[in-house]
C-alpha cells in the first residue's frame, strides 16, 4: 500500500545506527548514521517494567550492557544506571522518546517491535501516541517478525506504516499467506538473500513496498539497485550510499 513514508527514492537506513562506529542502538550510533548521510535508522524497541519504551535488541541485558537479567524486569531508573558495553563507556540505554526528540527532524525511523506478549501490554498504544505527539506519521515505519503487534497497530491507527519482517526461517511460500492475513500492511522487510528480481517484482505487484536487510555483500549492491526495491537497511550506510552514487547514470 502506498504510504508517504516511502519518498520515491531508494532509502538507506542504518541498522541499529552504524554499529561499526558506536555501540548498536545508542544515540551515538544514530548520530553516526546521520553524520554518514543515512536517510534514517532502524532500531529495536522493548517495554521495561515501569512501562517506558526503550531501545534494545536483546531480551536480556547481558550482551550489550553492564547489567544482567531481562529488560522487562527492570524499571527505567534501574536501566539508566547501566553502561552500554563498548564505545566510550558513556552511552546509556536510550528511551524511544529520546530518539524521537533528537532525530525525528533529520532521520526517518524504522521502529522494530521486539518481545511478543500474546496479550496487549500497551506497547503499541504508547508507540502510536509518540508518533502522533511528534506529528511523525510520514517519518516512521513500524516493523516486526511477529504479525500480532502489526495487526494491533493497524487496528489502532491504520495511518501508521507497517512492515512485516521476513527472514530465512520463514518459508517464502508462507510469506504470501501471512501477507494476506496481514492485509493492510505497507511493506515487507526482506532478508537480502531472499531478494530475487522475480520475488521482489511479485511483492511490488501485490502493492507492497520492499526493503532488504541483513548481511549484504557489497558485490550485490548493483544487482539490488536494479530491483524495484524501496531501500536497504544496512550496517554500512556510508559505503552503500557511495556505491549507489557510483552507479548513477
Ligand atoms: O529490521 C531488520 C533487522 O533488524 C531484523 O533483525 O535481529 O537485527 O533485529 P535484527
Ligand atoms: Mg532490528
The CATH number of residue 91's host domain is 3.20.20.190
Residue 115 forms part of a structural domain: yes
Is the CB of residue 47 less than 8 Å from the CB of residue 248? Answer: no
Q: Which of 15, 186, 189, 209 is catalytic?
A: 15
Give the list of residues 6+ apart from residue 54 with CB closer than 8 angstroms, or none: 45, 46, 47, 48, 71, 76, 79, 93, 94, 95, 96
Kindly give the distance from the C-alpha atom of residue 111 to the centroid of ligand 2, in angstroms, as a whole number: 8
Ligand 1 pocket residues where CB is under 6 Å: 15, 42, 44, 57, 112, 143, 165, 189, 213, 233
> pLDDT under 50 in the chain at which residues?
none
Cell numbers linked to 21: 562506529
Q: 3-state DSSP call for residue 17?
A: coil
- The confidence score (pLDDT) of residue 7 equals 83
Our count of domains for the chain comes to 1
Residue 5 forms part of a structural domain: no
Which residues are 54's β-sheet partners? 46, 95
Cell numbers linked to 166: 521476513
Residue 4 forms part of a structural domain: no
Residue 66 forms part of a structural domain: yes
Q: How many CA atoms lie within 13 A of 37 on its CB side?
A: 7
Residue 2 forms part of a structural domain: no
| Distance separating alpha carbons of residues 84 and 24, to the nearest angstrom | 9
Which residues are 43's β-sheet partners? 111
| Beta-sheet pairing, 53-55 with 40-47 | antiparallel
Q: 3-state DSSP call for residue 23?
A: coil
Q: Which of 39, 2, 36 is nearest to 19 (CA)?
A: 36
Residue 219 forms part of a structural domain: yes
Return the best residue to mutate from 42, 110, 162, 210 for the ligand 1 pocket (most ligand atoms within 8 A of CB). 42
- The confidence score (pLDDT) of residue 197 equals 97
pLDDT digits (tens, 9 = 90+) for 146-203: 989 999 999 999 999 999 999 988 766 677 777 777 888 999 999 999 999 999 999 9
**How many other C-beta atoms lie within 10 A of the C-beta of residue 121?**
14
Q: Which residue has the cell 539497485?
A: 225
For residue 142, give its domain range. 11-246
- The confidence score (pLDDT) of residue 171 equals 67
- The confidence score (pLDDT) of residue 172 equals 67
Cell numbers linked to 73: 524486569
Q: Whose CA is nearest to atom 4 of ligand 1?
A: 15
Residue 27 forms part of a structural domain: yes
Active site residue 186: no
| Beta-sheet pairing, 53-55 with 231-234 | unpaired
- The confidence score (pLDDT) of residue 169 equals 83
Give the list of residues 6+ apart from residue 210 with CB closer than 8 angstroms, or none: 187, 188, 189, 190, 195, 200, 203, 204, 228, 229, 230
- The confidence score (pLDDT) of residue 248 equals 66
Q: What is the pTM of this model?
A: 0.96
Average pLDDT, the chain: 94
- The confidence score (pLDDT) of residue 118 equals 73
Active site residue 57: yes
Number of H helices, E strands in the chain: 9, 9
Amino acid at each position: 500500500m502506498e504510504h508517504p513514508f516511502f519518498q520515491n527514492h531508494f532509502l538507506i537506513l542504518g541498522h541499529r545506527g552504524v554499529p561499526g562506529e558506536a555501540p548498536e542502538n545508542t544515540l551515538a550510533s544514530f548520530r553516526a548514521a546521520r553524520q554518514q548521510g543515512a536517510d534514517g535508522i532502524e532500531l529495536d524497541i522493548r517495554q521495561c517494567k515501569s512501562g517506558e519504551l526503550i531501545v534494545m535488541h536483546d531480551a536480556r541485558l547481558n550482551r550489550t550492557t553492564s547489567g544482567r537479567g531481562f529488560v522487562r524486569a527492570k524499571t527505567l531508573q534501574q536501566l539508566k544506571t547501566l553502561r552500554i558495553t563498548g564505545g566510550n563507556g558513556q552511552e546509556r540505554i536510550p528511551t524511544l522518546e529520546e530518539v524521537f526528540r533528537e532525530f525525528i527532524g533529520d532521520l526517518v525511523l524504522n521502529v522494530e517491535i521486539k518481545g511478543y506478549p500474546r496479550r496487549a501490554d500497551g506497547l503499541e498504544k504508547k508507540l502510536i501516541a509518540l508518533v502522533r505527539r511528534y506529528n511523525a506519521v510520514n517519518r516512521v515505519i513500524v516493523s516486526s517478525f511477529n504479525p500480532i503487534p502489526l495487526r494491533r497497530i493497524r487496528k489502532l491507527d491504520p495511518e501508521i506504516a507497517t512492515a512485516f519482517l521476513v527472514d530465512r526461517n520463514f518459508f517464502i511460500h508462507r510469506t504470501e499467506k501471512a501477507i494476506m492475513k496481514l492485509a493492510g500492511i505497507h511493506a515487507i522487510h526482506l532478508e537480502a538473500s531472499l531478494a530475487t528480481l522475480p520475488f521482489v517484482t511479485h511483492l511490488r505487484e501485490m502493492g507492497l513496498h520492499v526493503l532488504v536487510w541483513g548481511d549484504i555483500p557489497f558485490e550485490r549492491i548493483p544487482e539490488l539497485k536494479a530491483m524495484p526495491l524501496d531501500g536497504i537497511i544496512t550496517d554500512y550506510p556510508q559505503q552503500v550510499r557511495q556505491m549507489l552514487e557510483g552507479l548513477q547514470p
